[in-house]
Structure 1
Amino acid sequence: MNHLFNRVAVAAIAVAFAGEAMATEWNVSLWGKRRAFTEHVEKLAELVSAKTNGEFTLNISYGGLSKNKENLDGISIGAFEMAQFCAGYHRDKNPTITVLELPFLGVANLKEEVAVARAVYAHPAVQADLARWDAKLLMTSPMPQYNIVGTGDPRATLESMKGMRVRATGGIGKAFKAIGAVPTSVTATETYNALESGVVDTVAFAQHAHLAFRTIDKAEWWTENLNPGTVNCPVVVNTDAYAALSDSERAALDGSVDEAIAHYVANYEVL
C-alpha cells in the first residue's frame, strides 16, 4: 500500500511539474515608465493572459532588461522575447523602416499612422531587414506629429531656428539640420537632464512624451502646429521564441494585436 501511495505521489508531482513546464513566460523590454506610448503592450499582455487562462504571460520590464538603444540587440541574441525600439536610435540597423520617419509625410492621425506602418511592415524587404536581427515585427506604436518645447526666446520663424540645439532623431532631426539647427539624438530618458543642463535648448517630442518625461515642466514656450513628422517605434518579437509558441499561444498573440492597437489609439485620443 505504501509503495502504491508513493507511486501515486510521484506521479502527481510529475504532472504538476509538467503543467508548470507547459506555461510560457516572455520577458518584454520597454523603457521609462508606463504611459500612453506603452499602453498597447500592457493591453496585449492582459489579452494574451486572458485568452490562454494564464498559461502565456508577458512580463513587462521598464528599463530592467536593457537600455532602449540596445533592445534590438537584445532581441537578436534572445536576451528577451519581446521589445520596443525606435528606428531613429540605430538607423543603420533598420534602414527600411526609417522611411516612416521622413519629415512632412502628411499623415493626419493615429489611424492613418497605423495603416501606413502596417503596409511598410508587411513589405518583404522590411521583413528581411529585421530578420537579420532575428526580429519579427508585431505591431507599431503610433504617435502623433511632433512639436517642440524650448527655453529662452521663442523660435517663431525658420530663421530664428538657426543654431537651435534640438533633441530630434531620424528624419525630424535631418529636417531641423536643413534649416541650420543642431539636432542631438539623446534618448527620451536622458532628455529632461539635457534640457535642464543646457545641452539642448529645445526638444521635439510627441505630446505624451513631453508629459511623461516632464520636458513641459522646463519649457518657456512651445509649438502646437509645427508638425514636422514623427518617429516609428515598432514592437518586435524574437523569431525563435515566436516559432516555439504553440498554435494556440501564437493565435492568442497575433489575435490580440488589433484590439491592443485600438485600445492604444482610444487612450491617446483622450489625453
Structure 2
Amino acid sequence: MKILTTASVAALTLAFASEAIATEWNVSLWGKRRAFTEHVEKLAELVAERSGGDFTMSISYGGLSNNTENLDGISIGAFEMAQFCAGYHRDKNRAITVLELPFLGVENLDQEVAVSHAIYDHPAVTEEMAKWNARMLMTSPMPQYNLVGTGDPRVTVDSFEGMRVRATGGIGSMFESVGAVPTSVTSSEAYNAMESGVVDSVAFAQHAHLSFGTLDIADWWTENLNPGTVNCPVVVNIDAYEALSDEHRAILDEAVDDSIDYYLENYADLLEGWEATLSEKGVEKVTVAADEIVKLSDGAQPIHQAWIEEANANGLPGQELYDLVQAEILKAKGQ
C-alpha cells in the first residue's frame, strides 16, 4: 500500500488548487476573424499571457450561436462572452441605439470609442443590459459607413429614391426618409442579397465590405457619405464575470484598453491600404457633393427627435442619453 507523505499531500493539494482556479471562457463571434474582431482576439491573448495560462478564452466564429442571438445566449449562460450589434434586435438594447443615429458628428475611431464607453457606463444602459444578464465590456469601434453598389452610382438624394439598401438602425431610417428601401439582412447575408439583386447597395464599414465580399461584386463606393455607423459591444455574462477570482477579473478589466489600442492600430493599417484595394477590385470611388450631404444631415434631425421621444416612451432617459452623446463628442474633439 502506498503511503502518502506530507510532501506528496501538499503537492496534490497544490495541483488540485491550481486546477480549480483555471478558467476557460467560451466566446461567441460570427463570420471570420477580421479587423472587427481583432480586439477580442487580442483580449484572449493578453488574458492568457497575464494569467500564466490560468484564464483562457475559446473563440468561436458562429459555432456557438448566430449573430442575432448572441445576447440571448449570454442571458442563459450558454457562453461567457459575446459580440453583438444593436441594430440586430433594437427592442433588446434600446438605450445604446442612440449611438446609431445618423449624422451624429463622430469623425474618427478614437471619438467613437470615447462616446460609446461613456454611454455604456450610463445607469440606464447598465440596467437594460442586466435584464439579459449582460455586462458591457468594450465597444467594437467602426468608421462611418459608406455604400457599395451595383449599376450607376448613387450620389444624390434624388438617386436614393427606390434604392434597395442593406442598412440597419439609424442609417436605415435616414435612407428610408429620402425614399430608399432599407433592409436589415445580417452582415453574413449581405453578399447573397446583393448578388441576387435583392438589394442594390450595402452600407458597411470598410472591413465588412472586405470580409463579407460585397466589394467583390460592387461597381462603386461612396468615399464621403459618412451617414453614421452601427454600435457593436462586447459583453460578458454577469454571473461568469462575478465568479472570476479577483485576480482574473482585474486581468480582464485591465486588458480592455490595451485590446482597443491594438484594434485601432490594426484598423489604421487596413484603411491605409484601402485605395489600393479599390483599384485592385475595379471599384469606382465616387464623391457625394457637399450640398447633398447637407440635405441628408438636415433630414436626420427629425430622426434624432423621434428617437428621443420613443426612448422616453419606453421608460428610458432619452434626452439625457442623447445630450450625453453630444457632450462626449465635443469633449472627444477637445471643444
TM-score in same-fold range (> 0.5): yes
Residue 270 of structure 1 deviates from its aligned partner by: 1.1
Match of 1:61 in 2: 60
Match of 2:85 in 1: 86
For 1:36 and 1:58, how far apart are their aligned partners in 2? 18
What per-residue deviation string (whole Å, max 9, x for no partner) do you get for residues 171-216 of structure 1? 0000000000000001111111111111111000001100111100
For 2:55 and 2:6, how far apart are their aligned partners in 1? 31
Residue 232 of structure 1 deviates from its aligned partner by: 0.2
Match of 1:127 in 2: 126
Match of 1:77 in 2: 76
For 2:4 and 2:84, how far apart are their aligned partners in 1? 54
SS of structure 1 residue aligned to 2:185:
coil
Residue 20 of structure 1 deviates from its aligned partner by: 2.1
For 1:27 and 1:243, how far apart are their aligned partners in 2? 16
Match of 1:259 in 2: 258
What per-residue deviation string (whole Å, max 9, x for no partner) do you get for residues 204-233 of structure 1? 000110011110000011100000000000
Match of 1:226 in 2: 225
SS of structure 1 residue aligned to 2:2:
helix
Q: Tell me the TM-score normalized by structure 2.
A: 0.78
For 2:126 and 2:45, how far apart are their aligned partners in 1? 27
For 2:28 and 2:155, how far apart are their aligned partners in 1? 38
Share of identical aligned residues, percent? 72
Match of 2:200 in 1: 201
* Structure 2 residues not aligned, in runs of 5+: 271-335
For 2:133 and 2:31, how far apart are their aligned partners in 1? 24
Q: Tell me the TM-score normalized by structure 1.
A: 0.96
Residue 22 of structure 1 deviates from its aligned partner by: 1.8
What per-residue deviation string (whole Å, max 9, x for no partner) do you get for residues 57-111 of structure 1? 0111000000000000000000000000000000000000000000000101000
AA at the equivalent of 2:249: R
What per-residue deviation string (whole Å, max 9, x for no partner) do you get for residues 105-126 of structure 1? 0101000000000110111111
Dislocated runs of 4+, deviation >4 Å? 5-15
Q: Larger % of helix: which?
A: 2
Instruction: List aligned pairs for 1:4-15, cutoff 5 A.
Output: 4=3, 15=14
SS of structure 2 residue aligned to 1:28:
strand
Residue 17 of structure 1 deviates from its aligned partner by: 4.2
SS of structure 1 residue aligned to 2:3:
helix
For 1:3 and 1:179, how far apart are their aligned partners in 2? 83
Match of 1:181 in 2: 180
Is 1:211 the counterpart of 2:199 in the alignment?
no
SS of structure 1 residue aligned to 2:235:
strand
Residue 143 of structure 1 deviates from its aligned partner by: 0.3
Instruction: List aligned pairs for 1:74-153, cutoff 5 A.
Output: 74-153=73-152
Cα root mean square deviation, aligned: 1.5
AA at the equivalent of 1:138: L
Match of 1:166 in 2: 165
For 2:185 and 2:206, how far apart are their aligned partners in 1? 18
For 1:222 and 1:53, how far apart are their aligned partners in 2? 46
SS of structure 2 residue aligned to 1:64:
coil
AA at the equivalent of 1:58: M
For 2:21 and 2:129, how far apart are their aligned partners in 1? 29
Of 45-54 and 152-161, deviating more is 152-161
SS of structure 2 residue aligned to 1:3:
coil
